[in-house]
A = this chain, B = another copy of it.
Amino acid sequence: MPLLVMKFGGTSVADLARIKNAAEKVKREVERGYDVIVIVSAMSGKTNELVGWVEQTSHLYDAREYDAVVSAGENVTAGLMALTLQEMDIPARSWQGWQVPIQTTSAHSAARFVDIPRANIDTKFTEGFKVAVVAGFQGVSPEGRITTLGRGGSDTTAVAFAAAFDAERCDIYTDVDGIYTTDPRITAKARKLEKIAFEEMLELASLGAKVLQTRSVELAMRYKVRLRVLSSFEETDENSGTLVCDEDEIMESKVVSGVAYSRDEAKLTLVTVEDRPGVASAIFGPLAEAGVNVDMIVQNISEKDIGGSPKDVTDMTFSCPVNQVARARKALEDARDAGHISYEDLVVDTDVAKVSVVGIGMRSHAGVAAKMFSSLAAENINIKVIGTSEIKISVLIDRKYMELAVQALHDAFDLEKA
């Protein structure tokens, strides 16, 4: 029997009416001849309520007990979804993590999958059950304690089940109807993509298109699980939403697939840093330890390289989320006070945004960067920092130009047209 994995997030199962709506979508797939594994999140708001209780009880809480408490929300949804399906005459059974059992590491609140044995659920399919409803976001450690995967972990649960059960596809039902070339709130010309490659999705997700949890896309890429993102709140059929898949499945890909942005960036420059081997590690080590998510890094050429001053000094510029600036400043000052690094000044610009163009086509096409820069220049937008990867070019610009930049690039790369 072909098998589908269908995942419903918190807003898709927010109340009994929405659970019923989701169950209707499951029913349709059963009628098409699929066995279905449904992965559910907690009803929206429930996990926050549980997390709130834990945090009010204990600041430095025991993560084992945190996991035992917060996993309760998904268990409730799983049971209610199974009951709803039974009411529709679909043989369904709920599964909590320990019943499968979903084996994970012992890293409570950030556990990783070790194994998802198929035997228990397969037996039920053999007995005539059509649907297994699995509580997302949770598993069980080798010590027999409940673990959770961290927030958003239900996407990852869905992909892991799709891999373990050789699912034909993993459908992620959420509150958007697919992946767009850019944010439709910024330009009405944004177009829903029919397909997108895993690598592109990874760059888009980490850049702020918060539809799929990054780790779930990584896992899907590794196990070649075809992921589909589609809406819980619309009528859907086999062609709805956006398919996230291997690039081999994408016949005619554009050079650029989408324009992403991140509004709340900050640019920090360490002025007159000693230019010697190991200085980068001396700077970014303490930042990493302080939990600062450094994104782009640019090191100016040092003056001696161009025959200037004989002193071996340079400037070092990097970006991070704007709410981590205080933490970054403290980490750097501590490192300077401890004598690990030296700098004359730390210049901070908290009024920048990041705009990126993403596309697997870039690998084989030259001229993307040139086109991007000339488009921005035509709008008189000054580029402050440039960063590139194999399938992405990012720039930091003044925040006030962000929308304009996204619109200009969307036009320049013709993303409106399929």
213-268 of chain A: CB within 8 A of chain B: none
Nearest-Cβ distance from residue A111 to partner chain B, whole angstroms? 16
Known interface pairs A61-B83, A83-B62; A68-B94 also in contact (CB < 8 Å): yes
5-40 of chain A: CB within 8 A of chain B: 16, 19
A68 closest partner in B (C-beta): B79
Known interface pairs A16-B56, A57-B16, A98-B98; A86-B62 also in contact (CB < 8 Å): yes
Please name all residues of chain B whose beta carbon is closer than 8 Å to the beta carbon of A83 when the two chains form the complex.
Answer: 54, 57-58, 61-62, 65-66, 69
A59 closest partner in B (C-beta): B87
B80 and A75 contact, CB distance less than 8 A: no
Known interface pairs A62-B86, A65-B86; A57-B80 also in contact (CB < 8 Å): yes
Decide if A96 is an interface residue (CB 8 Å cutoff): yes
Number of interface residues of A (CB under 8 A): 36
Known interface pairs A57-B80, A76-B50; A68-B96 also in contact (CB < 8 Å): yes
148-183 of chain A: CB within 8 A of chain B: none
Decide if A382 is an interface residue (CB 8 Å cutoff): no
Please name all residues of chain B whose beta carbon is closer than 8 Å to the beta carbon of A323 when the two chains form the complex.
Answer: none
A75 closest partner in B (C-beta): B72
A75 and B86 contact, CB distance less than 8 A: no
Decide if A78 is an interface residue (CB 8 Å cutoff): yes
Copies of this chain held together in the complex: 2
Contact mask A95-115 → B, CB, 8 Å, 1/0? 010110000000000000000
A76 and B72 contact, CB distance less than 8 A: yes
Decide if A84 is an interface residue (CB 8 Å cutoff): yes
Decide if A196 is an interface residue (CB 8 Å cutoff): no
B62 and A82 contact, CB distance less than 8 A: yes
Please name all residues of chain B whose beta carbon is closer than 8 Å to the beta carbon of A98 when the two chains form the complex.
Answer: 98
Please name all residues of chain B whose beta carbon is closer than 8 Å to the beta carbon of A19 when the two chains form the complex.
Answer: 57
Known interface pairs A16-B53, A53-B16; A58-B72 also in contact (CB < 8 Å): no
Decide if A144 is an interface residue (CB 8 Å cutoff): yes
Please name all residues of chain B whose beta carbon is closer than 8 Å to the beta carbon of A93 when the two chains form the complex.
Answer: 64-65
Docked complex Cα distance between A120 and B145 (Å): 12
Please name all residues of chain B whose beta carbon is closer than 8 Å to the beta carbon of A62 when the two chains form the complex.
Answer: 82-83, 86
A58 and B75 contact, CB distance less than 8 A: no
Docked complex Cα distance between A68 and B94 (Å): 8
A58 and B84 contact, CB distance less than 8 A: yes
Please name all residues of chain B whose beta carbon is closer than 8 Å to the beta carbon of A82 when the two chains form the complex.
Answer: 62, 65, 68
B68 and A78 contact, CB distance less than 8 A: yes
Please name all residues of chain B whose beta carbon is closer than 8 Å to the beta carbon of A72 when the two chains form the complex.
Answer: 72-73, 75-76
Docked complex Cα distance between A54 and B87 (Å): 11
B87 and A58 contact, CB distance less than 8 A: yes
Nearest-Cβ distance from residue A154 to partner chain B, whole angstroms? 17
Please name all residues of chain B whose beta carbon is closer than 8 Å to the beta carbon of A146 when the two chains form the complex.
Answer: 96
Please name all residues of chain B whose beta carbon is closer than 8 Å to the beta carbon of A16 when the two chains form the complex.
Answer: 53, 56-57
Please name all residues of chain B whose beta carbon is closer than 8 Å to the beta carbon of A76 when the two chains form the complex.
Answer: 50, 53, 69, 72
Nearest-Cβ distance from residue A109 to partner chain B, whole angstroms? 13
Docked complex Cα distance between A75 and B68 (Å): 7
Please name all residues of chain B whose beta carbon is closer than 8 Å to the beta carbon of A65 when the two chains form the complex.
Answer: 79-80, 82-83, 86, 93-94
User: Can you name 16 A-B pairs with beta carbons within 8 Å?
Assistant: A16-B56, A50-B76, A54-B79, A54-B80, A57-B80, A57-B84, A57-B87, A58-B84, A65-B79, A66-B79, A66-B83, A68-B75, A68-B94, A69-B79, A72-B72, A99-B144
Given pairs A65-B79, A65-B86, A72-B73, 10 additional interface contacts (CB within 8 A): A16-B56, A19-B57, A54-B83, A57-B80, A58-B87, A64-B93, A65-B80, A68-B94, A69-B83, A99-B144
- Residues in chain A within 8 A of chain B (CB atoms): 16, 19, 50, 53-54, 56-58, 61-62, 64-66, 68-69, 72-73, 75-76, 78-80, 82-84, 86-87, 93-94, 96, 98-99, 120, 144-146
